[in-house]
Amino acid sequence: MSGPLRILMVLDSFFPDSQGGAERMVDGWCREFAARGHEVRVLAGRIGMPAGQEEEMGGYRVLRWTSKRRSFSDGYFSAIVACAGSAARIGKEWRPDVVHCHQGLSAYAALHSGISAPALCTFHSPWRDEFIEDARAKEETLSPALRPLYRLASILKAARIHQMEGDALLRSQGAAVLSVFSRGRLADAHGIPPESIDLLRGGIDLDRFSPAPGDERAQIRRRLGFAGLTLLSVRRLVRRTGVDLLLQAMVQICSGVPDVHLILVGKGPERKSLERMADELGIGSSVRFAGFIPDEVLPDYYRAADLFVLPTRSLEGFGMATVEALASGTPVVGTPVGATPEILGPLEKGLLAAKATAHGISRAALPLLVFPSALDDLRSRCRSYAEANYRWSDAGDALEEVYVRLIAERKGEA
């Protein structure tokens, strides 16, 4: 590499509107590359902000595109035009060396903008498959009369999503993922040879997500209202994330361990039905639905918990929450779904449930809760494992190598 790069990251949305795993990963890469002297900009959609508005975040600049609609109601046309127009202006005025796309809609738009830099598309999660899972769950809540029409609309939307994602991949110079699981899903969905898909390294802010000393941790627990043994899960409240499985597992856990509580952080369309389920299962007093927790407060929830549980039913593309918990020194029990075995398997196979069921979750969690000394023994191992595997410096090295290769290939030097 001859000098600093101009790197353009492209997303559908970004902080503060969206704070999911993809957004966290992009923010980490941006901060790492800015610290290395690269010039980094993010192009992302923003609700209620004029197009072209710029913000400073962590040493990099964020530029916004906005549209009247960002939905399938017009085939995503309004959003595509808005994002493509912004990408075209950036390409002409700023001339990035590489474009890194992270979500299907904005990737499709940016790569139709005429921008000339080599492009990389990262497949953080299977957009179409997630939509189909969520649509099936929603369909079950509709009246029989409405289901056929909703099903038809869902089929058309899924086809449009698949078409946009596939087109973006065809127009890019490279494809990347954060897990072997995601590599397989991407290869199957779009017919890409697995060996041509780069496997990137994920990273975590090890200063921000870190264990608290004993006295400080006790103070945090009191401030957050944690009492007794406390399980934590940070999840979007939809069916595929498996929160219902965790509630069912809590029935068995509560019967085996006195004074145990579950804190659920996150929001989603199934909150009311999950609250009803907790009451019907007789564990309502042991479960707290904390809702959305501000990003600056979230690390204390990880530090204060005794055990983190990732009860995913399907489609776990990476597992940022898992890594955040491990970095905080909090042991994690997870279902053997998606990329979770890739994270937890090398650390301790006993942390993986045998199956993505309530019984599987409770069987994995109970030995740790019945013998709390086992949790104490794991805490330092979890932190050391995160330090060894999820440093941003290592994640930055891996991605920077991909950028340099794509640029060289475009120039005909490779």
Is 209 a domain residue?
A: no
In terms of pLDDT, which residue wins out, 268 or 75? Answer: 268
In the prediction, which pLDDT does 414 show?
Answer: 47
In terms of pLDDT, which residue wins out, 50 or 355? Answer: 355
165 and 34 in a single domain? The answer is yes
385 and 397 in a single domain? The answer is no
φ, ψ dihedrals at 45, nearest 5°: -70, 155
Q: Is the pLDDT of residue 374 over 90?
A: no
In the prediction, which pLDDT does 270 show?
Answer: 94
pLDDT digits (tens, 9 = 90+) for 131-169: 898 888 889 889 999 999 999 999 999 999 999 999 999
184 and 277 in a single domain? The answer is no
251 and 105 in a single domain? The answer is no
168 and 234 in a single domain? The answer is no
179 and 230 in a single domain? The answer is no
Mean pLDDT score, 99-127: 95
Q: Is the pLDDT of residue 390 over 70?
A: yes
191 and 291 in a single domain? The answer is no
370 and 402 in a single domain? The answer is no
Computed over every residue of the chain, the mean pLDDT equals: 93
In the prediction, which pLDDT does 17 show?
Answer: 81
In the prediction, which pLDDT does 130 show?
Answer: 87
In the prediction, which pLDDT does 48 show?
Answer: 62
pLDDT digits (tens, 9 = 90+) for 211-235: 999 899 999 999 999 989 999 999 9
Q: pLDDT band for 119, please (50, 70, 90 cuts).
A: very high
In the prediction, which pLDDT does 126 show?
Answer: 82
Which CATH number fits the domain that encloses residue 149?
A: 3.40.50.2000
Is 257 a domain residue?
A: yes
In terms of pLDDT, which residue wins out, 73 or 185? Answer: 185
Question: Please, which residues bridge with residue 176 across strands?
Answer: 122, 198
323 and 197 in a single domain? The answer is no
3-class state of residue 109 by DSSP: helix
Is 384 a domain residue?
A: yes
Is 208 a domain residue?
A: no
Is 1 a domain residue?
A: no
120 and 233 in a single domain? The answer is no
Strands 39-45 and 6-13: parallel
Give the chain's domain count. Answer: 2
**Sheet arrangement for strand 260-265:** 287-291, 260-265, 229-234, 307-310, 332-334
Mean pLDDT score, 125-135: 87
Strands 332-334 and 307-310: parallel
Is 279 a domain residue?
A: yes
How far is residue 60's CA from residue 57's CA, in Å, rounded to a whole number? 5
How many of the other CB atoms lie within 10 Å of CB of 250?
Answer: 25
196 and 222 in a single domain? The answer is no
In the prediction, which pLDDT does 275 show?
Answer: 98
16 prior amide bond cis, ω within 30: yes
Residue span of the structural domain in which 293 resides: 214-389
Q: Would the pTM count as exceeding 0.75?
A: yes
In the prediction, which pLDDT does 69 show?
Answer: 63
pLDDT digits (tens, 9 = 90+) for 295-346: 899 999 999 999 999 999 998 999 999 999 999 999 999 999 999 999 999 9
* Dihedral angle over CA of 310, 314, 315, 317, nearest 10: 30
193 and 238 in a single domain? The answer is no
Mean pLDDT score, 97-108: 96
Is 345 a domain residue?
A: yes
Mean pLDDT score, 65-76: 74
